[in-house]
Amino acid sequence: MRPQPGLLEPDEQVGGIVVVTVYARADLSVCSRILQAVTARRFAVERLVADLSSFDHNQVRGLDRVRERVMCVSLVVSVNGDHDVERLGKLLHRMIDVYRVEQTYRV
């Protein structure tokens, strides 16, 4: 898989960039744990955006039964291949207070 021109520097040793959306309990400590877990596993986090506003999470499939507030965390992560994407997904799915993980974009 080749990244699009301009997204990565020629000397970077990554296979691509993946955007992962994490739906979790709306709390900054949960956001901090997500960032800490991803960086501790040696993933290169390019950007993290946490939306703590009250959006209607009932529109998201699988979250209609959640009664408390939900935040949406978008992670942009550099990966070396498909095995890194799988590892990242498994890591995030195992975390407490994470309700759903979606891969929304991949370059």
Question: Which tokens in the block code for residue 12?
Answer: 């970077």
Q: Identify the structural domains of the chain with CATH numbers, from first to last.
A: 16-106 (3.30.70.260)
What is the pLDDT, as a whole number, of residue 52? 84
* Higher per-residue confidence, 3 vs 49: 49
Place of tokens 């890591």: 91
CA distance 83 to 97: 24
CA distance 9 to 3: 10
27 close to 100: Cβ distance less than 8 angstroms? no
Other CB atoms within a 10 A radius of the CB of residue 36 amount to 10
What is the pLDDT, as a whole number, of residue 10? 57
CA distance 37 to 63: 23
What is the pLDDT, as a whole number, of residue 24? 93
45 forms beta bridges with 77
Does the pLDDT value for residue 71 go beyond 80?
yes
For 32-70, the pLDDT digits (tens) are 999 999 999 888 899 999 998 877 788 888 888 888 889
pLDDT (average), residues 70-87:
90
pLDDT (average), residues 83-104:
92
pLDDT (average), residues 3-27:
73
